[in-house]
Amino acid sequence: MFDHAPLFLGHRKLDERRRFKLGLVVNRGQNPVWVRDIVEYLLGVPQFDISVRESNEPKHVPLAPSWLADRLYTASRRKYDAFAETEDGAVINSPPDTGEPVDALFWLASARPRGTCAGLARFGVFTLQLGDETTDPPYWREVIEASPISAAVLYWHATSFERGRAVYTAETGTQQDWAFTRNAEEPLQALPRMLAITALELMCSGSEWIAGALELPEVERPRSRQASFPSALDTLRFIARQATRSASVRVNGRGKLRRWFLALRRNPSLFYSNLGRFSRDGLEDIPLRGTHMADPFVIEHGKRNWLFYEYVPLGASRGRLSCMELDADGKPGSAQVVLKTDYHLSYPCVFNVNGEYFMIPESSANRTVQLYRATRFPFEFQLESILIDSISAVDTTPFHLNGHWYFFTTTTQPFLETFLFWSDSLDGEWRLHPISPISSSARNTRSAGHLFYHNGRLLRPTQDCSVRYGYGMTINEITRLSPTDFEEHKVDFIPPRWRRGLLGTHTLNSNTQFEVIDGIRYQ
């Protein structure tokens, strides 16, 4: 249940004897399913002592919906409804409140009280904001307005319920679907992780966490207003847009499949690492072999160049890792599978360390992060070590700086979060970076290739999965990187517009002679 346990309980080196007293405030009587899910999740963390108390605040009653909105909402709830109330009225058989002081208090009830919250918990009180808090159910407005992002925000209140600091924001891609209630699924599934991570951080380093939170701006956090259903006009707009969208998908995709392909550029002056921006010029498609070719990495060995990529054969569903040589003109030679397992593989992150070649493939289906060593480059790789076990993480990308190794890796759905680790050696013990997670946004998530320099600036490409998986690439500049510090900011975005008909693009790499990129389109 607690998928982050290997990250935090193992890599934070928590004292197993320590306990953290966590208070949860829920509605009196019935509570929605998502509150029950949070309580169950937190009860699964061994270090937490949970107590549940009921709020005396009256629950807000939403305004009555229009006939059309009500019909659409009823139909949508049949497919997904996290805001339905639990059948027996109880969140679960959770421990009752004993009245003892708690370390942190998470306010999950639908209505917040007025006035001070000082003294309610050692480290303060936390509240949640689901979407814009003006519509019922939450996250409808994002679908109506075609927003690419749906957010969940955790606020920390040091002294007052009316003022708080946003200490944790999860941004998930908005689900544009006829069953609009499905849009709430991902942000609501992010909540338990957000609360667990925050509590564990307080448990590990409470005073440092408070000091950092106090540097954040304090904003007004008024009591929840009476939420309203979408109007009949909003509902009509939604129906019209969804009908247009569905028709467009059917027309464009009729008789076609979405397939990833690779493209190559031979002119170094147009490489991002030299130009400082992305150019559409000079990109040549590599002939598609199989169902998909994606995640390209290009490696120079001696005077020869080798292209590694994910390859899905015709009729297969699992990826394997292949390699082909590129001649001086960029013409690809015959391909050979270099790594195949009984589970899916992708993202063949190959890199050179003192003349030896290593690879960290994406092996999340096996719930491992694996390090391979080339025994006969480029065609044979042997498993060297398991860097992380018992967790599903994707697109792990290493980087060496000032005697330390850094590893960027991202947890899988339903909530993409990027974590930073560091180690004294490539196959040594990973230590969770104190700034982790470094990203909790679908705009800036999975790695999109090796880190690289441009004019002394260290750049890190990541995927933007807000519109859809692998939609585009964000380029971030890292300005601070050490075992204790990390800071980056967005400097560029590469949309899927470098080839006609593109639906996404999500990996960019280069060496001194070639630059490679992938894209997805109907074929």
* Separation CA 72–CA 137 (nearest Å): 12
Average pLDDT over residues 105-132: 91
Average pLDDT over residues 314-324: 91
Taking residue 317's Cβ as centre, other Cβ atoms within 10 Å add up to 8
pLDDT at 337: 96
In SS3 terms, 397-435 reads as EEEEECCEEEEEEEECCCCCCEEEEEECCCCCCCEECCC
* Separation CA 10–CA 92 (nearest Å): 28
- The more confidently predicted of residues 366 and 245 is 366
pLDDT at 84: 82
* Residues 200-218 as b or e (16 or more Cβ within 10 Å = b): bbbbbeeeebeeebeeeeb
Reported as a pLDDT band with limits 50, 70 and 90, residue 62 is: low
* pLDDT, tens only, 186-236: 999 999 989 998 998 898 888 999 999 999 999 998 766 666 777 888 888
C-alpha dist (Å) from residue 514 to 17, 231, 349, 517: 54, 54, 16, 10
| pLDDT above 80: residue 503 | yes
* pLDDT, tens only, 336-370: 999 999 999 999 999 999 999 999 999 999 999 99
pLDDT at 13: 58
| pLDDT above 70: residue 495 | yes
CB 463 within 8 A of CB 470: yes
pLDDT at 309: 98
pTM metric for this prediction? 0.91
Q: Which of 236, 130, 151, 143 is nearest to 181 (CA)?
A: 143
* pLDDT, tens only, 458-478: 999 999 999 999 999 999 999
- The more confidently predicted of residues 315 and 406 is 406
Burial class from Cβ neighbours inside 10 Å (0-12, 13-18, 19+) for residue 195 reads buried
Average pLDDT, the chain: 89
Reported as a pLDDT band with limits 50, 70 and 90, residue 296 is: very high
| pLDDT above 50: residue 1 | no
* Residues 40-68 as b or e (16 or more Cβ within 10 Å = b): ebbbebebbebbbbebebeeeeeeebbeb
pLDDT at 17: 65
Q: Which of 103, 277, 310, 101 is nearest to 199 (CA)?
A: 103
| pLDDT above 60: residue 493 | yes
* Separation CA 433–CA 421 (nearest Å): 5
Token match 């421990």: residue?
95
* Separation CA 178–CA 247 (nearest Å): 13
Average pLDDT over residues 29-37: 86
Q: What is the strand order of the sheet 393-401 is part of? A: 393-401, 404-411, 418-423, 431-432
Q: Which of 96, 128, 123, 124 is nearest to 111 (CA)?
A: 128
CB 495 within 8 A of CB 245: no
Instruction: Measure CA of the first residue to CA of the last residue in the chain; give whole Å.
Output: 39
- The two tokens of residue 200 are 């564990």
pLDDT at 397: 98
| CA 464 to chain CA centroid, nearest Å | 10
- The more confidently predicted of residues 408 and 254 is 408
C-alpha dist (Å) from residue 113 to 58, 116, 202: 10, 9, 24
Decide the pairing of beta strands 393-401 and 380-389: unpaired
Q: Which of 400, 452, 396, 391 is nearest to 426 (CA)?
A: 400
Average pLDDT over residues 16-35: 85
Average pLDDT over residues 268-283: 96
pLDDT at 335: 94
pLDDT at 238: 85
pLDDT at 472: 97
Reported as a pLDDT band with limits 50, 70 and 90, residue 317 is: confident
DSSP annotation string for 291-307: SEEEEEEEEEETTEEEE
Burial class from Cβ neighbours inside 10 Å (0-12, 13-18, 19+) for residue 495 reads middle
* pLDDT, tens only, 83-113: 887 765 556 666 666 678 899 999 999 888 8
* Separation CA 513–CA 516 (nearest Å): 10
CB 200 within 8 A of CB 12: yes
